[in-house]
Amino acid sequence: MKNANKYTRQYFLPDEPCFDWTRRDRLDHPPIWCSVDLRDGNQALIVPMNLEEKLAYFQLLVEIGFKEIEVGFPAASDTEFEFVRTLIERNLVPDDVTIQVLTQSRDHIIERTFEAIRGAKRAIVHLYNSTSVAQREQVFRADKDEIVRIAVTGAEQIRDLARQTPGNFFFQYSPESFTGTELDFALEICNAVLDVWQPTPERKVIINLPATVELSMPHVYASQIEYMGKHLAWRDAIVLSVHPHNDRGTGVAAAELAMLAGAERLEGTLFGNGERTGNVDIVTLALNLYSHGVDPGLDFSNLPAIQARVEALTKMQVSKRHPYAGELVFTAFSGSHQDAIAKGMKWREEKSPEHWTVPYLPIDPKDIGREYEGDIIRINSQSGKGGIGYVLEQSHGFDLPPKMREQLGYAVKRVSDREQKELSADEIAEIFMREFVNLAEPLDLVELTGTDAKGMHRVRATVVWQGQQVEIEGAGNGRLDALCHALEEGLGIRVANLTYKEHALEVGSGSRAVAYISVDDEKGNTHYGCGVDTDIMEASAKALVSAVNRMLVHSGEVPLAVGK
């Protein structure tokens, strides 16, 4: 990148240390949230929303719980104007919600704005003009006094029209491009506007300090906000507001640090829609607070539904990696993450159901309407036994012994790697059934009968072995032991170190039992099999035969001839 010297710093630092905010590590209450989706978000869309879409979006914002909503720039277009009139005339704004409208500091635009909000129960008139060095020089070609005059003239006109127009109006001023403005000039212009509006603690004015373009690292923005909070006049009659954008990808960090530095109000949008890289994302900010145990005062308990509505109305897509909302953000494909999540979920269930500390998952996906199944653990060739076993257990109810999970894990990874694809829970179950359950090759158990006498169990089994139907018999201190002896004595198949586990299969229709058996071959390698049947005795015999079949196939052992 040979042109780096083309760029220089465009932001300004306070001329005194403003780092009190660094001593705070946590936000303990939410800011006053103001959604600017219908204005800053809308003005950045390829096709801005129409009247019906804006009405539907407004309804969504109200449902989520926003109490301040910037509904548009009424002088921008007939749609914008009509929308504001519709909200007021159809009485669609709840009593506890204040709408906000944006205006430039130009006569006819301010007049049109007041026509739009005539009769509003509560409306904030938001005045802005650009104050940065770049905009003063290049866009307005005006000196500081002229820029202050633009702001003051607009503020006076707004003050006067508010007196003459029916409705209940509050005021907000933004020195647009604040982050590229010298801080003493930002103070001067805000104070000049405040002098016009004469706020009181009972009727405050909002001073909104936008990172119109994010020019610095977030700690610089925080220090700028702290400085303004310390030095603005009329301090007890001001609500200090921020409006971060995300040009450097640190909009959320900037907003959080600004709140540590004293910002009381925050303007942003759902999922960060907005000019260029977007406004700061309120969903992320709210859920970050939530993950620290603070109720954000906004309801995102059904985030997938909110996302679907926003995507349909804005025709914008939320990225698969978007914090909290993205399709993949609660998903682990990789083995060690899956293992830790599966163990963490179990630990929580047993030890601490009221607290959430599950590794790799900053919040409980269920709290925002996400599902565990299919959302958290997904399987591909990077996955491990823990995750694969977890998916099989959650989806199909098989609770495999740990060593057996390992064997299934390798079988599943092989398929995913070979086919280069993710495997669904049903595909994993299919591999499990095919490789481990009720196996009848090369040995097929056709029939098994048994008797008990004086603690001794005897079995007779009909099996198909090497293409022939054979009767075998054996005795032992249990049915499985007797069947092992029958296999050894009748077919020369020797098994050692048998382990056994069983449980009821609760997932799926009908009550079935499942048994897992492992046997060791002569080299000491362990082979697992599984049996499923309505009868537990049948299930365990099938599990043994399945384990033996896997041993025969995988150990490469040549069994003795029939009848030996």
Ligand X SMILES: CC(=O)SCCNC(=O)CCNC(=O)[C@H](O)C(C)(C)COP(=O)(O)OP(=O)(O)OC[C@H]1O[C@@H](n2cnc3c(N)ncnc32)[C@H](O)[C@@H]1OP(=O)(O)O
Binding residues: 40, 243, 245, 279
* Helices (H), ranges, 90-182: 107-117, 133-134, 144-164
Determine if 174 is a binding residue for ligand KIV (CB under 6 A): yes
What is d(CA 266, CA 276) in angstroms, rounded to the nearest whole number?
Answer: 19
| 104: partner contacted, choices ligand KIV, ligand X, none (Cβ within 5-8 A by kind) | ligand X
Name the minimum Å distance from CB 233 to ligand KIV. Answer: 21
Which strands make up the sheet holding 456-465, listed edge to edge?
A: 443-453, 456-465, 468-476
Of 27, 118, 121, 140, the one binding ligand X (CB under 6 A) is 140
| 337: partner contacted, choices ligand X, ligand KIV, none (Cβ within 5-8 A by kind) | none
Give the footprint of ligand X on residues 259-298 (CB under 6 A).
Answer: 275
**Local structure of residue 245 (DSSP, 8 states):** B
| The amino acid at 490 | G
What is d(CA 211, CA 458) in angstroms, rounded to the nearest whole number?
Answer: 84
Give the footprint of ligand X on residues 85-114 (CB under 6 A).
Answer: 104-106, 109
Of 98, 132, 212, 526, the one binding ligand KIV (CB under 6 A) is 212
Spacing of C-alpha 147 from chain mean position = 43
Determine if 40 is a binding residue for ligand X (CB under 6 A): yes
- DSSP-assigned beta bridge partners for residue 377: 332
Of 38, 76, 257, 376, the one binding ligand X (CB under 6 A) is 76
Determine if 176 is a binding residue for ligand KIV (CB under 6 A): yes
| 43: partner contacted, choices ligand KIV, ligand X, none (Cβ within 5-8 A by kind) | ligand X
Determine if 210 is a binding residue for ligand KIV (CB under 6 A): yes
Name the minimum Å distance from CB 192 to ligand X. Answer: 15
- State both tokens at 137: 């020089």
Residue position matching structure tokens 């199909």 = 396
| The amino acid at 562 | V
* Contact flags string 36-65 toward ligand KIV, x per CB under 6 A: ----x-------------------------
Query: What are the C-alpha distances in Å from 341 to residues 408, 423, 444, 536?
Result: 19, 19, 39, 32
Name the minimum Å distance from CB 315 to ligand KIV. Answer: 21
**Phi, psi for residue 490 in degrees, rounded to 5:** -85, -35
Determine if 171 is a binding residue for ligand KIV (CB under 6 A): no
The residue (of 102 and 519) whose beta carbon lies closer to ligand KIV is 102
Of 33, 73, 128, 173, the one binding ligand KIV (CB under 6 A) is 128
Determine if 181 is a binding residue for ligand X (CB under 6 A): no
Residue position matching structure tokens 């030996």 = 564
Give the footprint of ligand X on residues 436-495 (CB under 6 A).
Answer: none
* Under 8 Å between Cβ of 128 and 151: no
The residue (of 243 and 485) whose beta carbon lies closer to ligand KIV is 243
Give the footprint of ligand KIV on residues 514-543 (CB under 6 A).
Answer: none
Of 12, 33, 114, 128, the one binding ligand X (CB under 6 A) is 128
Longest dimension (CA), the chain: 110
Determine if 228 is a binding residue for ligand X (CB under 6 A): no
Residue position matching structure tokens 């630990």 = 347
Q: Give the dihedral of Cα atoms 107, 109, 110, 114; nearest 10 deg.
A: 130
* Under 8 Å between Cβ of 64 and 297: no
Name the minimum Å distance from CB 124 to ligand X. Answer: 15
Q: Among candidates 313, 425, 308, which has minimal Cα distance to 51?
A: 313
Question: Looking at 207-215, 334-342, 349-357, 528-536, which segment touches ligand KIV (CB under 6 A)?
Answer: 207-215
Question: Looking at 73-81, 283-291, 321-329, 441-449, which segment touches ligand X (CB under 6 A)?
Answer: 73-81
Determine if 243 is a binding residue for ligand KIV (CB under 6 A): yes
* Contact flags string 418-447 toward ligand X, x per CB under 6 A: ------------------------------
Of 35, 157, 208, 246, the one binding ligand KIV (CB under 6 A) is 208
**Local structure of residue 91 (DSSP, 8 states):** T
Spacing of C-alpha 165 from chain mean position = 45
* Under 8 Å between Cβ of 426 and 395: yes
* Under 8 Å between Cβ of 264 and 240: yes
Spacing of C-alpha 563 from chain mean position = 63
Give the footprint of ligand X on residues 208-227 (CB under 6 A).
Answer: 212
Who's near 476: CB < 8 A, 6+ residues apart? 456, 457, 482, 483, 484, 485
- State both tokens at 331: 């998903």
Determine if 173 is a binding residue for ligand X (CB under 6 A): no
The residue (of 158 and 423) whose beta carbon lies closer to ligand KIV is 158
CA atoms within 13 A on the CB side of 434: 9
Determine if 241 is a binding residue for ligand X (CB under 6 A): no
Determine if 338 is a binding residue for ligand X (CB under 6 A): no
Q: How many CB atoms lie within 10 A of CB 425?
A: 18
How many chain residues interact with ligand KIV (CB under 6 A)?
Answer: 10
| 174: partner contacted, choices ligand X, ligand KIV, none (Cβ within 5-8 A by kind) | ligand KIV
Of 11, 12, 73, 81, the one binding ligand X (CB under 6 A) is 73
| CA angle in degrees (0–180, nearest 5) for 163-169-172 | 115
How many chain residues interact with ligand X (CB under 6 A)?
Answer: 17
* Under 8 Å between Cβ of 553 and 562: no
Name the minimum Å distance from CB 218 to ligand X. Answer: 19
- State both tokens at 22: 């660094």
- Which residues are annotated as part of the binding site for Mg(2+)? 40, 243, 245, 279
Q: Contact positions toward ligand KIV, by CB under 6 A?
A: 40, 102, 128, 174, 176, 208, 210, 212, 243, 245
Residues forming the site for ligand X (CB under 6 A): 40, 43, 73, 75-76, 104-106, 109, 128-129, 139-140, 150, 176, 212, 275
